[in-house]
Structures are given as structure tokens and as C-alpha cells.
């Protein structure tokens, strides 16, 4: 199932880690994850989200602000009844854990390029195989996953197609143009619009959109820490000016959460 990120050979358990026939070895960290991101595949010394971003997202999600989103994601995953699933760009594991709870009999994998995120994810669901790895070189075998999840994450579409057998699919969860609109209006003089369906043009040959739906609700954030965490876990935390960010943190905020779910199936 797992493949070597260097030579693509099959990985087998050895001692406290895994190894391929070419004897490329990867140790399991004391927290439980496997680091399958060789140094030559890193774009920086510590790629992915840093500790501050991970902790902000953990606090915000654990407070339940996005619980309806996670619940619907888990329901949609359970309806597909996959034997094996993978969460691509799992972060600190909030959504992966909900999927694992909804699919207790399935074999679950989750990966992120951020070691800080995966270290925290391990504590949430030890039954999941947590990986530090690149989504551009996913260390899993061809056609090995019946369901892929991509939540607020970039995606390598060709890798997704490679991992799916016929009938398998990608469950993508991403923002619509209405998502956090009130926050963006506070942060910027001009709010850029975008096309909710732009990603559909990226679907590769051999895959098609089979289902789409949107979930939206009003979210009121009276707590300053929650508002600060929301900023820190989005690109707005560094795009907007310091003055505008401070103004958002200083006063209560009501925003619309509006998320689109797409099931994109392999032919």
C-alpha cells in the first residue's frame, strides 16, 4: 500500500519504521507518524504550516465553529463506504478524525507536508496512518484508495486520478464566493469575487463531477481569541494590513460560512 517516496518500491514494516526493497528506510516518530518527505523533496527547511498557524486552527476547530462542516463531510464519506481512504492535506487532523469515526471498518490514511500539523494529528486518531509527505508525490500505490478527501487544500489532480480505481472518487470541500464575505469586507477596500466552479475546469480526463452541494450558516464570533484564530488560519492573516486585522479582533463579528462539497468520480 505505502510506497517509497524515493524509488516508488513497496514499503514494508521493519523495526520502528518502514523500508523498501532498495533499503530506503523511514523511521516512525515517537508521536506515531511516518515521515515520508525526503529532504530533496522539501522546498524549505520546514515546509507547510508553522506551529502558530497549526495551534490557531486547532483552537478554532476544537471550539466547534466548523463542526457542521465536518459532520456533513463525514456523512458524505460514509455514504460512499470506501474500504480505504486518504485525506490529502490533513492539517492537524480535525476533519480526518471525523472521517475515521464515520468509517470505523475502513483503512484510513492522512498526509500533510507540515510536520508540526501531523505531530498534533496523531493524538486525535491513532487508528489512522498519519504521514508527513508531499501531495505532489503521494507515497501510496496506484488505484489504492476508494475515497480521497481534500479539505481547504491545494490538490494535484493527476495524483488524485492515479490513486483512484474506477468508481472511486474525490470528496472536495472548499469555500464559495460567499464564505467569510463579511470578514473580507472588513479587511479590504475592494473584495475580489471568484468563480465557485473554477476548479471544475481542472478535472482531468477520466474523472467527472457526480454530485455537488453547498452548506451555509451564520457564525457569530464574540470571543476575541476566536477572531484572532480565524485570521491566523486563513491567508487573510498575512494579506490584510495590521490595522485592519486589529480592528477585526477588537469587535464582535458575524460571518456567513458557505462551503461547497463536490464528489468527483473516476470513470
Binding residue numbers: 4, 7, 20, 24, 66, 92-93, 179
Whole-number Å distance between alpha carbons of 230 and 92: 15
The three cell numbers of residue 224 are 476575541
Annotated binding site for Zn(2+): 4, 7, 20, 24
Across the chain, which distance is largest between two alpha carbons, in Å? 58
Q: Do the beta carbons of residue 173 and residue 69 sit within 8 Å?
A: yes
Phi, then psi, of 195 in degrees rounded to 5: -85, 120
Annotated binding site for S-adenosyl-L-methionine: 66, 92-93, 179
The three cell numbers of residue 59 are 483552537
Q: Do the beta carbons of residue 36 and residue 21 sit within 8 Å?
A: no
The three cell numbers of residue 140 are 501510496
3-state secondary structure of 228: helix
What's the gap between Cα 198 and its chain centre? 19
Q: Do the beta carbons of residue 257 and residue 69 sit within 8 Å?
A: yes
Amino acid at each position: 500500500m505505502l510506497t517509497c517516496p524515493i524509488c516508488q518500491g513497496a514499503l514494508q514494516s521493519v523495526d520502528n519504521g518502514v523500508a523498501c526493497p532498495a533499503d530506503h528506510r523511514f523511521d516512525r516518530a515517537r508521536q506515531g507518524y511516518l515521515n515520508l518527505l525526503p529532504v530533496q523533496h522539501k522546498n524549505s527547511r520546514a515546509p507547510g504550516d508553522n506551529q502558530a498557524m497549526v495551534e490557531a486552527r486547532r483552537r478554532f476547530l476544537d471550539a466547534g465553529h466548523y463542526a457542521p462542516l465536518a459532520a456533513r463531510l463525514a456523512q458524505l464519506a460514509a455514504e460512499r463506504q470506501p474500504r480505504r481512504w486518504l485525506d490529502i492535506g490533513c492539517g492537524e487532523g480535525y476533519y480526518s478524525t471525523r472521517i475515521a469515526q464515520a468509517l470505523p471498518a475502513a483503512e484510513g490514511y492522512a498526509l500533510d507536508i507540515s510536520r508540526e500539523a501531523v505531530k498534533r494529528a496523531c493524538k486525535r486518531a491513532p487508528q489512522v496512518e498519519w504521514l508527513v509527505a508531499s501531495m505532489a508525490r503521494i507515497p501510496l500505490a496506484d488505484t489504492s484508495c476508494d475515497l480521497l478527501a481534500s479539505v481547504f487544500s491545494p490538490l494535484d489532480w493527476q495524483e488524485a486520478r492515479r490513486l483512484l480505481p474506477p468508481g472511486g472518487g474525490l470528496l472536495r470541500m472548499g469555500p464559495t464566493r460567499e464564505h467569510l464575505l463579511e470578514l473580507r469586507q472588513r479587511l479590504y477596500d475592494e473584495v475580489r469575487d471568484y468563480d465557485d466552479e473554477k476548479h471544475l475546469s481542472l478535472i482531468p480526463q477520466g474523472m467527472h463531477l457526480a454530485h455537488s452541494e453547498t452548506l451555509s450558516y451564520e457564525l457569530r464570533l464574540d470571543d476575541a481569541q476566536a477572531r484572532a484564530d480565524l485570521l491566523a488560519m486563513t491567508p487573510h492573516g498575512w494579506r490584510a494590513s495590521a490595522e485592519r486585522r486589529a480592528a477585526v479582533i477588537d469587535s464582535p463579528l458575524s460571518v456567513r460560512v458557505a462551503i461547497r462539497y463536490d464528489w468527483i468520480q473516476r470513470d
